[in-house]
Copies of this chain bind each other. A is one copy, B any other.
Amino acid sequence: MNSTKRVTVKDLARLCGVSTGTIDRALNNRGRIDPETKAKILETADRCGFVKNQYARALSSGRPNLIGVVILNLKNEYFPAVLTGIDAEAHKRGYSTLFSASGYSADEERDCIRRMLSMNVAGIIVCSVQNDVSYYEQIRDAGTPVVAVSNLLGEQIPYVGIDDRSAMRDAAAHILSRGYEKIYYVAPVLSKKGQNIAAQALRYEGFLTAMEQSGVEYEVIDTNDKLQSLTIPSNKRCALLCSSDVYTQRCIAKYRGCDNVGLMGFDNVESLRVLFPDLTTVAYDMGLIGEEAVSLLLDGGGSDKIVPYRIIEGKTI
């Protein structure tokens, strides 16, 4: 009873006494077909538990039904959220999601991409660690559309995400508007060299813009060591501004220790939403980023898609 051979269109053709061409017309409501034969075919297909072999379909028609997704890591809650959106939208459009995590390794990333290409994906959604934009331009030029999420990939590859620069500018401005005297900008990732940290770089720019205009004191925590050893003076009103909720999570402890310290997150990830509903933060719809990425990939129309964000005025600033 094991490994029973699967029912094929040929089997159906034999069973119904028609040709495979007719089967195809029935199954895909294509062209002219007698309603009766069609009904009969659909009925027997159903009865036999026929499942179309997508490999064969894709091979024969040249139209793939797979979307490739390469992200950095599922530990960062941002990505599961985006992936949820991707999966939902892909499913809605009849596509399946081929997924892989690069684990922040450029080699691994290329490996993932290679595997996806060899699966003839309709397109690739990627949050890239690497800076080598030409790599992706080649892929796109070879016929596989590419969309970058959360990390810009040059001008040529369409991007879906928020306006990182102005989001962080607004975040800093919000803190400043509350009269804080010193801001610690927490972004250990800034010290990572040779990686694509486009989003983080933009956020940093936005931060600097806001600070320069204000003249208020600030300090950049750009390594993990600095974050570890950070002690916040108690003689002035200080605020921690995190460049991603991954860091917000690590800062909570420090925040709790001291009175009179402000804390602002960035991303508004699920766990913080549940655990610290009072957190002042920058929020946006991560699922939407995933959905838009799929739309952009499949509908084409090359331009970027910027998703809105908003400042949530909690009680920690």
- B-contacting residues of A (Cβ < 8 Å)? 1-4, 6, 49, 51-56, 58-59, 66, 73-75, 77, 79-81, 83-84, 87-88, 91, 96-101, 111-112, 114-120, 141-143, 249-250, 252, 269-272, 274-275
Q: A202 to nearest B CB, angstroms? A: 25
Choice from B101, B119, B143 contacting A87 with Cβ under 8 Å: B101
What residues of B have a CB within 8 angstroms of the CB of A49 in the complex? 142
With A4-B143, A275-B252 in contact, is A97–B98 under 8 Å at CB?
yes
Select A55's contact among B2, B55, B141, beta carbons within 8 Å. Answer: B55
List of B residues within 8 angstroms of A114 by Cβ: 51
**Using Cβ atoms and an 8 Å threshold, which residues of chain B touch A117?**
51
User: How far apart are A235's CB and chain B's nearest CB, in angstroms?
Assistant: 28
Closest B residue to A75 using CB positions: B270
> Which residues on the B side are within 8 Å of A101 (C-beta)?
84, 87-88
One of B51, B81, B120 near A53 (C-beta < 8 A): B120
Chain A to chain B contacts (Cβ below 8 Å), 19 pairs: A4-B143, A49-B142, A52-B118, A53-B59, A53-B118, A55-B59, A55-B120, A66-B98, A74-B83, A77-B80, A77-B271, A80-B80, A83-B99, A87-B100, A88-B101, A97-B99, A97-B100, A98-B98, A249-B275
Q: Is the CB of A96 within 8 A of B100?
A: yes
Q: Which residues of B contact A275 (CB under 8 A)?
A: 249, 252, 271, 275
Complex Cα distance, B6 from A84, in Å, reads 31
- Enumerate chain B residues within 8 angstroms of A115, measured Cβ to Cβ: 91, 96
Closest B residue by C-beta to A97: B99
Shortest C-beta distance, A301 to chain B (Å), equals: 15
**Quick one: closest B residue to A74, CB to CB?**
B80
Give bound CA distance, A274 to B248, whole Å: 10
A55 touches B58 (CB 8 A): yes
- Among B3, B74, B75, B83, the residue within 8 A (CB) of A143 is B3
* B-chain residues with CB within 8 Å of residue A6 when the two chains form the complex: 142-143
In the complex, chain B residues whose CB is within 8 Å of the CB of A274:
249-250
- With the chains together, A80 CA to B87 CA distance in Å? 14
In the assembled complex, the Cα of A236 lies from the Cα of B99 at a distance in Å of 50
- Complex A-B, nearest 4 residue pairs according to Cβ-Cβ distance, in ascending order: A271-B271, A74-B80, A3-B143, A99-B99
Q: Are B2 and A54 in contact (CB under 8 A)?
A: no
Return chain B residues, CB-CB under 8 Å to A99.
Answer: 83, 87, 97-99
Nearest neighbor of A50 in chain B, beta-carbon distance = B118
Residue of B nearest to A94 (CB): B115
Q: How far is the CA of A121 from the CA of B118 in the complex (A)?
A: 16
Measured CB to CB, the closest approach of chain B to A253, in angstroms, equals: 8
CA distance A125 to B141 in the complex (A): 35
Once the chains are docked, how many angstroms separate the CA of A51 from the CA of B98? Answer: 17
By a CB distance below 8 angstroms, the chain B residues around A271 are: 77, 249, 269, 271-272, 275
**Cα distance A53–B66 when bound, in Å?**
13
Q: Are B250 and A141 in contact (CB under 8 A)?
A: no
Taken together as a complex, chains A and B put the C-alpha atoms of A58 and B115 apart, in Å, by: 14
